[in-house]
């Protein structure tokens, strides 16, 4: 802890605006390199690394630093929300075939079209964050997930189910919810619950989420730091199915509020979160640009 305090004093003393590459290239690239190093330290899949001159991994992932797991979860929900909005608007045929779901998608597209026609042209709605679509989205997590997950779902304007156990109910509920006209879009698996340090099975949930086009986020806020030890890495079996992952460095690592997260597809995340022309043209198609976007 003493080392963390001293490091924070030095960092604050520099007083650099390190929130994007254009403001502080050195800070941003140090963050990228450090988070790539953490991928190796925790034994995570290498596709979470940023594809730049700093490494040669062929993936298009990206790590970004947040202050808390709550922020990480909110970004994951917003990414998943934007992904399904994008799919509904631009490629609805790719969604799982289901009578209730098809009817819902047709109605949502009609509502979007009508709103565009009736809305004042000066009123702008982000194409990937369209609240007209949010009202039919539903997320899933267990009743042992951190209470902040429920707050995130509420703040993001989506419905949610809190399940007592995660595997059998999800198989039953997502089918029933689709029949009711809801769109399952997000699953949070906890690696180390606050009450009992229980771990949801990524190995069992992953294939279901991938098959059903449900975004899978691994919240390892409590248990993720233990992955440094090879004997605990069985806890992350199935992590290759996760679309994003976060843990809290201010727990086992004893750092000062440090919650890194990684996206499997950082390029798409950048597309969903970029507003306007924040980045220079030469950066726009690189995974590293997500460091500017957030």
The tally of CA atoms less than 13 A away on the side-chain side of residue 5 is: 2
Rounding to the nearest 10 degrees, give the CA dihedral for residues 100, 101, 103, 104. Answer: 120
Q: Is the pLDDT of residue 36 over 80?
A: yes
Range scoring the smallest mean pLDDT among 20-24, 81-85, 159-163: 20-24
Number of domains in the chain: 2
What is the pLDDT, as a whole number, of residue 17?
Answer: 73
Q: Taking residues 268-281, report their average pLDDT.
A: 70
Q: Is the pLDDT of residue 64 over 60?
A: yes
- Whether 133 and 257 map to the same domain: the answer is no
What is the pLDDT, as a whole number, of residue 57?
Answer: 60
Question: 212 in helix, strand or coil?
Answer: coil
Measured between alpha carbons, how far is 58 from 219 in angstroms, rounded to an integer?
25
Measured between alpha carbons, how far is 294 from 290 in angstroms, rounded to an integer?
6
- Whether 85 and 153 map to the same domain: the answer is yes
- Whether 225 and 144 map to the same domain: the answer is yes
Chain centroid to CA 219 = 9
- Whether 57 and 138 map to the same domain: the answer is no
Rounding to the nearest 10 degrees, give the CA dihedral for residues 194, 250, 29, 80. Answer: 20
- Whether 48 and 74 map to the same domain: the answer is no
- Whether 147 and 236 map to the same domain: the answer is yes
Task: Provide the residue range defining the domain that includes 133.
Answer: 69-247
- Whether 166 and 264 map to the same domain: the answer is no
- Do the beta carbons of residue 233 and residue 40 sit within 8 Å? no
Q: Taking residues 30-41, report their average pLDDT.
A: 89
What is the pLDDT, as a whole number, of residue 134?
Answer: 92
- Whether 75 and 62 map to the same domain: the answer is no
- Whether 63 and 195 map to the same domain: the answer is no
Phi and psi of 52, rounded to 5°? -140, -170
In this predicted model, what pLDDT tens digit does every residue of 152-169 receive, in sequence order? 999 999 999 988 766 666
CATH number at residue 162: 3.40.640.10
What is the pLDDT, as a whole number, of residue 241?
Answer: 96
- Do the beta carbons of residue 254 and residue 50 sit within 8 Å? no
pTM, to two decimals: 0.87
- Whether 47 and 79 map to the same domain: the answer is no
Highest mean pLDDT among 137-151, 249-263, 276-290: 137-151
- Do the beta carbons of residue 170 and residue 140 sit within 8 Å? yes
Structure tokens at 284: 């726009």
Considering 247, 265, 281, which residue would you say is the last residue of a domain?
A: 247
β-strand partners of 65: 260
Which carries the bigger pLDDT value, residue 67 or residue 155?
155
- Whether 139 and 274 map to the same domain: the answer is no
pLDDT band at 191 (very low <50, low <70, confident <90, very high): very high
- Whether 141 and 216 map to the same domain: the answer is yes
């Amino acid at each position: 802890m003493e080392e963390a305090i001293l490091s924070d004093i030095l960092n604050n003393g520099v007083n650099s605006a390190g929130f994007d590459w254009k403001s502080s290239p050195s800070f941003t690239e140090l963050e990228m390199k450090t988070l790539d190093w953490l991928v190796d330290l925790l034994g995570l899949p290498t596709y979470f690394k940023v594809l730049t001159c700093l490494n040669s991994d062929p993936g298009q992932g990206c790590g970004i630093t947040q202050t808390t797991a709550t922020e990480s979860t909110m970004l994951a929900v917003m990414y998943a929300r934007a992904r399904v909005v994008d799919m509904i608007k631009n490629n609805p045929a790719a969604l799982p075939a289901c009578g209730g779901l098809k009817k819902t998608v047709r109605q949502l597209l009609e509502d979007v079209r009508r709103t565009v026609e009736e809305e004042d042209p000066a009123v702008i709605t982000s194409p990937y964050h369209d609240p007209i679509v949010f009202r039919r989205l539903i997320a899933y997590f267990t009743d042992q997930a951190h209470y902040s997950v429920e707050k995130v779902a509420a703040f993001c304007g989506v419905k949610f189910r809190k399940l007592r156990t995660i595997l059998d109910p999800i198989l039953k509920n997502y089918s029933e919810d689709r029949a009711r006209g809801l769109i399952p879009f997000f699953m949070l698996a906890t690696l180390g619950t606050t009450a009992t340090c229980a771990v949801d099975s990524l190995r069992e949930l992953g294939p279901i989420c991938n098959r059903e086009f449900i975004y899978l986020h691994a919240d390892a806020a409590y248990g993720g730091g233990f992955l440094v030890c090879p004997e605990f890495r069985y806890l992350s079996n199935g992590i290759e199915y996760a679309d994003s992952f976060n843990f809290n460095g201010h727990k086992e690592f004893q750092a000062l509020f440090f919650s890194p997260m990684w996206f499997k597809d950082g390029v798409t995340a950048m597309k969903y979160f970029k507003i306007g022309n924040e980045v220079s043209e030469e950066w726009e198609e690189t995974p590293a640009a997500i460091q500017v976007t957030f």
